[in-house]
Amino acid sequence: MIIPICLFAQPEQPVEEWTGKTILLIGGHPDDDHQSHATLAMLKDHGNEVYILTMTTGNVGTKDPRISRYQLAQIRRQEEVDALKEIGLREENYINLGYDDGRLEFADREEAVGKLVYYIRKLKPDVLFAFDPGYNYQVWQKSDHRAAGYLAADAVRAAEWRLLYEGQIIQDGLTAHVIPEFMFYGGNIPDKNTMVNITDYVEKRVAAGLKYVSQWSSGWRDYRGPNLADYPPEDREAMEKRIRNRIFVENGISYERFRYHKGPPDTMGHAPRD
């Protein structure tokens, strides 16, 4: 018996028409939000409030032998803030939980989930963008992404019950919150059911991507500061090419693709079951 894998409902209201919503994206590293940057730029433009929460500081991923964890965390924060500016978001809308890069799986899960629950209850998002923890089966992700995906899924569940992490409610005045809609990124292509037309926002995504100099230019091996002008001339072209190549294009239209889910958090990861 072979059955079609992709039988998802699309969002009733196209993403391109969303407005007035609060959006929260949870990622593992500064730049994990990049694959949704055009969509986020559009949503911001269309009157939605957008928050980016990154779990780790990204303080490990450099091949430049002179850069320390401390410096890299500073660099990656600045790059992230600069990138967000390109898509219309202010630094106030950026939250970083401060975990060490590459070690999120070793963190205490109960505490990490609690921190996400705190922001879900505080910001009360209508839509969550997160790494796809899986559809029917658990998606393969590298370590921090695997952790970020599952911690987000667990936090969504916990956030809705006032009897979990109730210290936040009793002591800090928050209230339980149910997130009704989800946009999962970073998953397998066949699991994606929603294509967002980002043609008008490609340039903003490219501009944002160009800020990640320490990751995607030769700054990865030889960091010369945040300014692309200080790097070899070919760097900019290579970086831009790399950024554009990651964008899916079909019939001349550019898309960011997601797995969309609407409904109880419990069912975010699977087709109907008995």
Encoding tokens for residue 112? 């990490």
Nearer to its own copies among residue 2 and residue 229 (C-beta)? 2
Q: What is the DSSP letter of 214?
A: H
Nearer to its own copies among residue 100 and residue 240 (C-beta)? 100
Q: How far is the CB of 102 from its own copies (least distance, A)?
A: 5
SS3 131: strand
What is the C-alpha end-to-end distance of the chain, expressed in Å? 18
Q: How far is the CB of 65 from its own copies (least distance, A)?
A: 7
Cα 110 from Cα 155, distance rounded (Å)? 10
Q: How far is the CB of 248 from its own copies (least distance, A)?
A: 5
Nearer to its own copies among residue 161 and residue 230 (C-beta)? 161
Nearer to its own copies among residue 23 and residue 196 (C-beta)? 196
Q: How far is the CB of 131 from its own copies (least distance, A)?
A: 11
Closest Cα partner for 10 from 257, 202, 255? 257
Residue 94: what are its φ and ψ, rounded to 5°?
A: -110, 125
Helix axes 233-245, 202-209, angle to 10 degrees: 130
Q: How far is the CB of 85 from its own copies (least distance, A)?
A: 17
Cα 56 from Cα 73, distance rounded (Å)? 9
Cα 73 from Cα 68, distance rounded (Å)? 8
Q: How far is the CB of 7 from its own copies (least distance, A)?
A: 9
Nearer to its own copies among residue 20 and residue 65 (C-beta)? 65
Nearer to its own copies among residue 168 and residue 217 (C-beta)? 168
Encoding tokens for residue 253? 């239209």
Encoding tokens for residue 138? 């658990």
